[in-house]
Amino acid sequence: MSPSSVVIGVDSSTQSTKAAVVDAAAGRLLAVGRAPHEVTGTEGARETDPETWWSALRDALAAALKEADVPAAAVTGIAVAGQQHGLVVLDSRGRPLRRALLWNDTRSAPQAAELTERLGGPRAWTARTGSVPVPSMTATKWQWLRAHDPDTVRAAAAVRLPHDFLTERLCGTAVTDPGDASGTCWYSTATGSYDDELLALLDLPARLLPAVAPTGGTRVGSLTPAAAAELGLHEGVAVAAGTGDNMAAAIGLGLGREGLLDHAALSLGTSGTVFAAGLRRPDDPSLAGFAAADGTYLPLACTLNCTLAVDRIATLLGLDRDDAAPGGETVLLPYLDGERTPDLPHAGGLLTGLRHATTPQQLLGAAYEGAAFTALRALDAVLEACGPDAAAPTAADRPLRLVGGGARGRTWIETVRRLSGRPVVLPESGELVALGAAALALGAATGAEPVAAAARWSAALGPLLPALPRDTETWDRLEGVLASATPALLG
């Protein structure tokens, strides 16, 4: 029997779009449609035509609705969670002037360093935005564009983040949310608004930016007639402000004021991210001190090199991704695309400790260890940013929620358990970003609190794996190699 009301959660990520059709009452995932994106670029460049995201949303939604077999009239709300930080520049008709610069485009490393210095250093930035400019942040990409494509800058009528672009296509309203806005480095988490001094520093007119909704679940409009016709829905569907993908994943996990505070999650995907929802505004320069979509905060550390980097090493070795063994004396830091945390934008991969007896399986295991170590290294800082309760010794007994594509891989799971020494929960749903977006859509349609709704849906439930003894020998070896090699990795 079809539910009387469904909501749509859209996960527009780096590589693809997923559209989830969710039973609004029970949170049951009825169907997920998928459509790929094209990412182009070499030597640090990563770009996508924003129109690809819209066509992928349309195609993914059509596939999901067909599979779910629900009438269009049952859809009551829609929300988009998008990859963070991407720079989208539009003309006066809302059309892209060029391909979007994606979060993992590292060409703006010189601009990041320059911006950090011009404001007075890392602490000056975290006092305002919660974060320090790194090549991932949107402000650095705007500065890169000013230097390398001034014609586009002069022609710009609007500047958007990826999820803002899609939300505006849905409802015709230029709007963002505090969560995704906090990843730009021109929005202040201290004041909850755009920072005029930073906009002046960037020579970015405020009129080019969207308004900021109070939360990601705020209703910002309804589907326009054009969007409704293209998507096969009706014009009354509520559109939420939406948010960034990490913020939506937190909601899908039930992390927030109306759910779990000070509990950490590790997402193993194209990037590796560690985050937790807390009530204290983060100001640690080693972290991204984001706002969350529900009015709390989301301190986060992100690594560029995670599952794709390890898969690349497996391909080079001619091994299946799970044909791995602990690395032993071998250390492999798989910084194949530079790195964000730690901030090493010009780094390459580093391999040391080879012996005659080293096996290909150990080399692959060392790649897993290097990637997991890089992500887990920031876990303590993330929890400290949430407050004393999150960083207390007893907090180590709180399970680490492991999500993303890597959470379905046996070697990823065992490597994280071994290096973290924490119990691990494996949420059964693999679509937490889309489910978090669906909870935001429910908020827009009904006024429900999204984190509480996601908690009722039980999307974050799954097997609990007990803690293993922490492999301090491997951890200390990795820490030592990183410390001694950092000057060379800085390029």
Instruction: Tell me which residues are annotated as active site.
Output: 245
Instruction: Provide φ and ψ at 168, rounded to 5°.
Output: -65, -35
* Rounded Cα–Cα distance for residues 336 and 308 (Å): 9
Structure tokens at 1: 């029997």
Q: Are 26 and 457 in contact (CB under 8 A)?
A: yes
Q: Which of 442, 441, 435, 437 minimizes the C-alpha distance to 458? A: 435
Structure tokens at 267: 């997402």
Q: Is the dihedral of CA 349, 352, 358, 364 positive or negative?
A: negative
Q: Are 243 and 216 in contact (CB under 8 A)?
A: yes
Cα–chain-centroid distance for residue 400? 17
Structure tokens at 125: 């930035």
Q: Which of 67, 57, 52 minimizes the C-alpha distance to 6? A: 67
* Rounded Cα–Cα distance for residues 345 and 326 (Å): 27
Q: Which of 125, 112, 88 minimizes the C-alpha distance to 345? A: 112
Exposed / middle / buried, residue 136 (Cβ in 10 Å: 0-12, 13-18, 19+): buried
Q: Is the peptide bond before 214 cis (omega within 30 degrees of 0)?
A: no
* Rounded Cα–Cα distance for residues 208 and 392 (Å): 44
Q: Which residues contact 151 (CB under 8 A, 6 or more apart)?
A: none
* 3-class DSSP assignment, residue 129: helix
Q: Which of 405, 404, 309 minimizes the C-alpha distance to 366? A: 309
The string of DSSP codes covering 295-341 is SSEEEEEEES-SHHHHHHHHHHHT--TT-----TT-EEE--BTBBTT
> How many CB atoms neighbour CB 448 within 10 A?
18
Q: Which of 157, 128, 412 minimizes the C-alpha distance to 266? A: 412
According to DSSP, residue 344 is labeled B
The string of DSSP codes covering 218-271 is SEEEE--HHHHHHHT--TT-EEE--EEHHHHHHHHTTBSTTSB-S-EEEEESSS
* Rounded Cα–Cα distance for residues 466 and 275 (Å): 21
The one-letter code for the residue type at 107 is R
Q: Are 37 and 83 in contact (CB under 8 A)?
A: no
